[in-house]
Amino acid sequence: MTSNRITTQTRGILASHNIQLKKSLGQNFLTDQHVLNKIVQAAQLTEKAGVLEIGPGIGALTESVADIAEKVVAIEIDGRLVPILKKLFSTRPNVEIIQGDALEVDLNQIIETHFGEVEQIHVTANLPYYVTSPIIIRLLESRLPFKNIVIMIQKEVAERLAARPSTKAYGSLSVFVQYFAEVEMVAKVPSHVFVPRPQVDSAVCRLSLRSEPAVKVENESLFFAVIRAAFAQRRKTLLNTLHANLLSEMTKQQVENILIQADIQPKRRGETLNLAEFAALTQVIHTTDRASV
């Protein structure tokens, strides 16, 4: 299907059902077959694969992945689009449409109910910008057996996911995602290939889930707390931001001693630490008897 045809079909379906897209849902439908192909290729699908799609819209990506995968389950939050999708895919026994919010549906139940026979499960999504981070975090924290997550997101967010230490884009989300997955920018996508056209460009990003986290930590919740605290006040040194946002019960000298013990200079900023250094810092804090401080 050509890009012009997808655009015409998208506008035609919306018009025939008198559907006005909702800004509150961040609805921007991809209409470029070349980009759709890149998403499918990045997902590395096989005929034995299962695909969990988030935000199918009117099914352009759904159709592309259903041509390959054994099973596709698409979660759509907009109840107006669900009957349209079910009609469009009524002759596709390998496609299931579920109405729901990807932040609230029982992902475990969906996996158990619909993907029992598949060899690998992949996630594809054209994510609304306003829920990008919460959905990514939920997918990774679920620890469900996803092979990879291929997502269309705002280009700025994609750059944050892939960012390295000591760069402007590097932040707590970068560390969190890279702890669980290897991140790769697959393609940059201009705004004109969407209906309606968003105000910013997008990017396709692939998260390849690690079999084990990138670094070993004994206390994962503390690890994430350390990351949040380190980036809470980017302009401040680690000594000051950790003292203010995580270790306020300690004196600054005690916090400085922890940093030195972790082989981290207290005057460094959080944005300069890599995952291994965050893990080392977490371990020192974890083994410090804070109750006696």
Concatenated DSSP letters for 201-226? Answer: -EEEEEEEE-SS-SS--S-HHHHHHH
Write down the pLDDT at residue 30: 74
Q: Which residues pair with 99 in a beta bridge?
A: 76
Q: What is the mean pLDDT of residues 227-232?
A: 98
| CATH fold of the domain at 220-292 | Helicase, Ruva Protein; domain 3 (1.10.8)
Prior bond to 93 cis, omega within 30? no
Lowest-confidence region among 22-31, 182-191, 195-204: 22-31
Q: Are 59 and 65 in contact (CB under 8 A)?
A: no
pLDDT 10s digits, 110-120 = 999 999 888 89
Domain-by-domain residue ranges, the chain? 3-209, 220-292
Q: HSE-up of 242 (CA within 13 Å, CB side)?
A: 30
Over 70: is that where the pLDDT of 203 sits?
Answer: yes
Residue 227 — pLDDT band, cuts 50, 70, 90?
very high
pLDDT 10s digits, 234-269 = 999 999 999 999 999 999 999 999 999 999 999 999
Write down the pLDDT at residue 194: 76
pLDDT 10s digits, 122-160 = 999 988 778 999 999 999 999 999 999 999 999 999 999
Which tokens hold the place of 193? 């290939």
The continuous run of DSSP H or E covering 94 comes out as none
What is the spatial distance between Cα 207 and Cα 163, in angstroms, rounded to a whole number? Answer: 13
Binding residues for S-adenosyl-L-methionine: 28, 30, 55, 76, 101, 126
Write down the pLDDT at residue 142: 96
pLDDT 10s digits, 44-96 = 999 999 999 999 988 889 999 999 999 999 999 988 899 999 999 999 999 99
What is the spatial distance between Cα 178 and Cα 236, in angstroms, rounded to a whole number? Answer: 23
Burial class of 151 by CB neighbour count within 10 A (0 to 12, 13 to 18, 19+): buried
Q: What is the mean pLDDT of residues 161-167?
A: 98
What is the spatial distance between Cα 52 and Cα 61, in angstroms, rounded to a whole number? Answer: 11
Question: Closest by alpha carbon to 129, among 194, 218, 63?
Answer: 194
Q: Largest Cα–Cα distance of the chain, in whole Å?
A: 69
Q: Which pTM was predicted?
A: 0.89
Binding residues: 28, 30, 55, 76, 101, 126
Task: Tell me yes or no: is domain 3-209 CATH 1.20.120.1730.
Answer: no
Question: Closest by alpha carbon to 49, among 72, 32, 30, 26?
Answer: 72
Q: What is the mean pLDDT of the chain?
A: 90
Question: Closest by alpha carbon to 176, among 204, 125, 218, 139?
Answer: 139
